[in-house]
Amino acid sequence: KVSDGKKYIVMVNGENETPAEVEKVPLNQQVVYFKAECDFRNKVDKGYFYYSLDGSNWKAIGNVLKMQYTMPHFMGYRFALFNYATKEVGGYADFDYFKIEDKISDCRWEDICYADYKLEGHKLDIYLPDMDEPSYKVVVLIYGSAWFANNMKQAAFQVFGKSLLDKGFAVVSINHRSSGDAKFPAQINDVKAAIRFIRANAAKYKLDTSFIGITGFSSGGHLASLAGTTNGVKSYTIGAKTVDLEGNVGLYPSFSSRVDAVVNWFGPIDMTRMENCNTTKGANSPEAALIGGVPADNLDMLALLNPITYIDKNDPKFIVIHGEADTVVPNCQSIFFSEALRAQGRLEEFISVPGGQHGPVTFNENTLKKMIDFFAREAGIYRDLNRIRPIKCDDIK
């Protein structure tokens, strides 16, 4: 906020109806630290939030926060919303380093650059399950951030990673350039470059690329869906607009960017119907930032952004999951998408979650199992693999 002509970062305790200011820090402070402690032992999600100005002396922000969804999703997605909210009111927040530590896989590689120039948005992490197999079929993860973030691969892994590893999949969680870094189609170019990288380096990381599934939530669901419906589509023209969907990012243009199955979690699809399910949003919307223009003035570009535009009978199968109480991306977006997929025989299932919000309640044990079982069927995994690690991660060359 601005006070006496100076700008401040403000810590707020929001546990009561009237938020109380805890402390304010001059905006020229280089680093403000945030920390969350979690307790899931009794299946009651509790979060304790703290901040520090020096990284050692911690102060609480509010009391315990009880949640209906996992702490990693809260941390990852709320950080993205915080970034978006500050931009909406004329401010800006950026997280140069975002990580939630949870040792799930003994065999993993982090911050691999999948392109030929080293950007934060061009990094990915690879995790292998602790199972005795010569190679592992793959699922790619994409985080949600309203396309505003370029470094949240850890958040996507925390939402989906353990369940996929337990089923025997290799998990590849990717970053992509944000709308602040580059405008569309840069984001789908990055997704396709990451998939080509996976195929080109499959032997090195023990990946079985006979199956590559892809999933994402919110804007990540949009990109995962677009990757699925644009299999084999290098470029596309509508009116006077042409977009290069495949792109030339990375070192492996000769490899395929095809994916074999898609799970879309509440992704925005038809940007011409984001506002009340019948019209475009305004100049300050995330999609405006993504295309670099007012949505209502760029209908051809919105059509090129829409995964429905490209659906045909050669696309992979989809599961679409969306909460009925979602106030960020309306549930009708997934209804539009599911109807179009069904018309071409590409819809495996549309799961509309009663009371489901934009993450909370929608992410639950049943919907996660639906995703895992779908990927397993499409990949031909019909058994639980032996949980025996035959070699150390360092032994893989």
Tokens for 225, please give them.
């869906």
Rg from Cα positions in the chain: 21
Asked, as a colleague might, if the bond just before 354 is cis with ω within 30 of 0, I would say no
Res 136: pLDDT: 96
SS3 of residue 302 by DSSP: helix
SS3 of residue 109 by DSSP: strand
Res 56: pLDDT: 76
Residues in the chain: 397
Q: Render each residue's pLDDT in the chain as its tens digit; 397 residues.
A: 777 878 777 777 766 667 778 777 777 766 677 776 665 444 455 666 777 777 778 877 766 555 444 444 455 545 554 544 444 444 444 444 445 445 556 689 999 999 977 799 999 999 999 887 899 999 999 999 999 999 999 889 988 999 999 999 999 999 999 999 999 999 999 999 999 999 999 999 999 999 999 999 999 999 999 999 999 999 999 999 999 999 999 999 999 999 999 999 999 999 999 999 999 999 999 999 999 999 999 999 999 999 999 999 999 999 999 999 999 999 999 999 999 999 999 999 999 999 999 988 899 999 999 999 999 999 998 766 555 555 556 656 5
Specify the pairing of strand 65-67 against strand 45-52: antiparallel
Q: How far apart are the first and last CA of the chain?
A: 51
Write the DSSP string, 194-263.
HHHHHHHTTTTTTEEEEEEEEEEETHHHHHHHHHHHTTT--EEEETTEEEESS---SS-TTS----SEEE
Query: Do 135 and 206 meet the contact criterion of CB atoms below 8 Å apart?
Result: yes
Architecture label for domain 107-379? 3-Layer(aba) Sandwich (3.40)
| Residue 180 burial (10 A CB sphere; 0-12, 13-18, 19+) | middle
Residue in the structure block whose two tokens are 């009708």: 332
Enumerate the CATH 3.40.50.1820 domain ranges in the chain, comma separated. Answer: 107-379
